[in-house]
Amino acid sequence: MSDTTEALLRVEGITRAYPGVIANDDISFAIRPGEVHALLGENGAGKSTLVKIIYGLVRPDAGQMWFQGAPFHPADPSAARAAGVGMVFQHFSLFDALDVAENVALGMENAPPQRQLARSIREISQAYGLPLDPSRLVGELSAGERQRVEIVRCLLQNPKLLIMDEPTSVLTPQEVEILFRTLRKLAAEGTAILYISHKLEEIRALCEAATILRDGRVVDTCNPREKTARELAEMMVGGTLQQPARAKAPPGETVLELDIRTLPPALAFGTTLRDLSLSVRAGEILGIGGVAGNGQDELLAVLSGETRLPAQALKLSGIGIGRLGAERRRALGLLSAPEERLGHAAAPDMSLTENALLTGASRERLVSSGFIRWGRARAFARRIIQEFDVRTPGPATPARALSGGNLQKFVIGREVLQRPDVLVVNQPTWGVDAKAAAAIRQALMDLAAQGAAVVVISQDLDELMEIADRFAALNAGRLSPPRDMRELSLEAIGLMLGGAHDMEVAADDAVERTGEVISELVQPGAANEEPRP
């Protein structure tokens, strides 16, 4: 542990319990000015609770903190901000219906008048290569731009410590590159950065120290640059990980075809799908990559039947089913699992039996002439619990009592056990622990091996590289032509995600932005003096 006088933030013995779980158990670590320090751990390891304590959102049950040598116990986020702590949230703390300047003002202690603030936003965002228009509504921004708002909001207050909670999950590889340059520049200026992630390669590229959490405790510290990703992963998970294996089957006939010209979103601030066509063959896994908010939810709704289409826009084994609703599509063999587990894929307050009925009604014959056969529903729920190793007291447990990983296994299991001809899943392992994620991936690969067509929509590129046969990128509601996964490098995928595929696409400016940053980095300070209008 580094010297106390040198440490910017020192945390000792922090403990915080929630009903049934100790989120933080006697956690200690320190971070120096200018250091990029990683907090590494699986979902549920206690990273978020710890940073919420540092940011004053959660009070610890026990433990001490020092900031710049003085005892530090922020009563609320505004006290933490006043001390010089800034935080960029994983789920953005932004307001869709307010403009960028208003959003920034809300995160500041003493916000200047709007006009002056707008100017500072322009200046600082240019200086750090994160251009922003202060008058735009946040709801209309892309995920990457929304993150910029959060970062600029922090930067305007000259933080001494910047906390970043899973910042790259919503960014393309190119955007990650921009973010890392910004962070390195900040670190060089003396700002300490506490970087939370479970992405090992990123941590190895960016951080010079790492504290590894597991089940709420510090299990190890290291310099991530001296470790391999595999070593880090094993420290994080506390054991060796099994790689999913796959028995390859030769791809069969095309079972699902989708062809959309334009489809405006059903919700405010949604994405319009444009010129989107795809086809999947039996026995293959089509991976659809893309940063959140580029039309994933809309695409899933189109396939699941929540959004209706002209009959011929969606064909299952050659028959137009676009007009059919979710239940009819299921009966025909097209099943799906949406991203949001609680509230979309499952009803939080309903029991697992009731949730089994949610999609299993017709295929599992849980309903006869309108009346529910509860016995069969319960048996189906039990079968899912057993075959997918869902840890729960039993089928009467409400869905929200399950951990993320267990509920996701239940949701995927519910669809897989219905023997679909086509299964569409959106973010199958998002927020799920490594073991459950491996089990889910294995189940999807087994399903394809048995001859089903599988569409996996995911922002986790590693996941898609592992399980998909073909890859297509979803960007601003458009889908690139799919390519064979074996031909693609991570860089090539990055370019596809950025929109540089052979359709005319709005993401040219992303490339342009990268150029800007580079030119600024070549001539540091230039952008500071001459902000572009």
CB of 93 to other proteins, least distance (A): 4
Identity of the residue, 175 or 354, whose beta carbon is nearer to other proteins in the bound complex: 354
85, 65 Cβ separation under 8 angstroms = no
CB of 66 to other proteins, least distance (A): 12
Identity of the residue, 400 or 483, whose beta carbon is nearer to other proteins in the bound complex: 400
| Binding-residue pattern over the window 230 to 269 for other proteins, x denoting contact by CB under 8 A | --------------------------------------x-
Which residue from 2, 12, 22, 92 is in contact with other proteins, where contact means CB under 8 A? 92
Stretch that binds other proteins, among 48-56, 199-207, 239-247, 492-500 (CB under 8 A): 48-56
State yes or no: residue 59 binds other proteins (CB under 8 A). yes
Q: Which long-range contacts (CB under 8 A, 24 or more apart) does 390-398 make?
A: 390/352, 392/352, 394/352, 395/351, 395/352, 395/353, 395/356, 396/351, 396/352, 396/353, 397/351, 397/352, 398/348, 398/349, 398/350, 398/351, 398/352
Q: Which parts of 310-435 are beta strand (E)?
A: 314-316, 319-320, 334-337, 367-368, 371-372, 422-426
Which residue from 12, 25, 26, 61 is in contact with other proteins, where contact means CB under 8 A? 61
State yes or no: residue 20 binds other proteins (CB under 8 A). yes
Cβ burial of 318 (10 Å; 0-12, 13-18, 19+) is exposed
| Contacting residues for 56 by C-beta, under 8 A, at least 6 apart | 74, 75, 76, 77, 78, 79, 80, 85
| Cα separation, 23 vs 57, whole angstroms | 14
Stretch that binds other proteins, among 25-33, 282-290, 298-306, 425-433 (CB under 8 A): 298-306
In 10 A of CB 328, how many CB atoms?
13
| Contacting residues for 495 by C-beta, under 8 A, at least 6 apart | 174, 501
Distance (Å) of CA 347 to CA 15, 307, 339, 342: 32, 20, 13, 6
State yes or no: residue 328 binds other proteins (CB under 8 A). yes
State yes or no: residue 106 binds other proteins (CB under 8 A). yes
Q: Which parts of 82-216 are beta strand (E)?
A: 85-88, 161-165, 192-197, 209-214
Q: Name beta bridge partners: 471.
A: 287, 483
| Nearest to 362, CA basis, from 326, 321, 322 | 326
CB of 297 to other proteins, least distance (A): 10
State yes or no: residue 89 binds other proteins (CB under 8 A). yes
CB of 57 to other proteins, least distance (A): 7
Which residue from 25, 96, 259, 421 is in contact with other proteins, where contact means CB under 8 A? 96
CB of 256 to other proteins, least distance (A): 18
State yes or no: residue 348 binds other proteins (CB under 8 A). yes
| Residue that is written with structure tokens 């601003």 in the block | 476
Helix axes 374-387, 404-416, angle to 10 degrees: 110
CB of 302 to other proteins, least distance (A): 13
Distance (Å) of CA 486 to CA 188, 291, 450, 466, 474: 39, 21, 22, 10, 19
Stretch that binds other proteins, among 2-10, 154-162, 195-203, 348-356 (CB under 8 A): 348-356
Identity of the residue, 239 or 343, whose beta carbon is nearer to other proteins in the bound complex: 343
Which residue from 241, 372, 449, 465 is in contact with other proteins, where contact means CB under 8 A? 372
State yes or no: residue 169 binds other proteins (CB under 8 A). no
List for the chain the helix, strand, coil content (%; round to 5).
40, 25, 40
CB of 263 to other proteins, least distance (A): 16
Which residue from 125, 157, 211, 304 is in contact with other proteins, where contact means CB under 8 A? 304
| Nearest to 414, CA basis, from 438, 462, 382 | 382
State yes or no: residue 105 binds other proteins (CB under 8 A). yes
CB of 285 to other proteins, least distance (A): 22
Stretch that binds other proteins, among 116-124, 182-190, 397-405, 414-422 (CB under 8 A): 397-405
482, 471 Cβ separation under 8 angstroms = yes
Stretch that binds other proteins, among 25-33, 103-111, 420-428, 525-533 (CB under 8 A): 103-111
Stretch that binds other proteins, among 237-245, 340-348, 427-435, 480-488 (CB under 8 A): 340-348
Cβ burial of 147 (10 Å; 0-12, 13-18, 19+) is buried
Which residue from 4, 78, 262, 519 is in contact with other proteins, where contact means CB under 8 A? 78
CB of 18 to other proteins, least distance (A): 7
Chain residues that interact with other proteins, rule: CB under 8 A: 18-20, 49, 52, 56-61, 73, 76-78, 81, 89, 91-98, 102, 105-107, 111, 268, 304-306, 325-328, 330, 338, 340, 342-350, 354, 357-359, 361, 367, 370-372, 397-398, 400-401
